Structure 1
Amino acid sequence: MLEMRPSCECCDRDLSPSDDVAFICSFECTWCADCVDGFDGRRCPNCGGDLALRPTRSPAKLADNPASTERVLAKDCAPAR
């Protein structure tokens, strides 16, 4: 099972598992809404795929299925200003 990433891959903003402003592509690259607004065509800058709101994870499920603590940063991504 893939773990939810804890931050935006572009600006490194914290994104909690219950955050409703996180976006993912089919490869689960993770972005905040501010950065997504700056992406060409609102598409994933890594793969060019569609971005969708990331589902949230309930606190009850987080106990057995915690979010990742590993931060991932995309190469050459310019954070939203």
Structure 2
Amino acid sequence: MLELRPNCERCDCDLPAESHQARICSYECTFCAGCAENHLDNRCPNCGGELVARPVRPPHRLKLHPASTLRIIAKAPLVPGR
């Protein structure tokens, strides 16, 4: 099950569970659409994998399986493929 992380790892903007602006890789590293498209070339800087739109969990399912509240923020500048 996806964690639905609450923020972009690059710019720390909020990405609530219902956001259509979240992008994730297969390891669920999470970025906003702006960072993914304008700074990361839609590639995860952590694993080099493709960043794709994160699915939205239906509200009635969020009650049973809430989104993560743990914020992950990169400590170093993120460069794709490193």
- When normalised by structure 1's length, the TM-score is 0.87
How far 1:42 moved relative to its partner? 2.0
How far 1:3 moved relative to its partner? 1.6
With 1-10 and 23-32 compared, the bigger mean Cα shift is at 1-10
Higher relative contact order (CA 8 A, sep 6+): 1
1:32 corresponds to 2:32: yes
Q: After the TM superposition, which segments of 4 or more aligned residues of structure 1 sit over 4 Å from their partners?
A: none
Identity across aligned pairs (percent)?
53
Tell me if structure 1 keeps the 8 A contact 2:42–2:52. Answer: no
May I ask how many residue pairs the two structures share in their alignment? 77
1:1-81 matches, within 5 Å, as 1-37=1-37, 38-39=39-40, 41-77=41-77
Unaligned runs of at least 5 residues, structure 2:
none
How far 1:53 moved relative to its partner? 0.3
> Per the alignment, in what secondary structure is the counterpart of residue 5 of structure 1?
coil
Alpha-carbon RMSD across the aligned residues, in angstroms, is 1.3
Alpha-carbon distance in 2 for matches of 1:64, 1:3: 13
> Per the alignment, in what secondary structure is the counterpart of residue 15 of structure 2?
coil
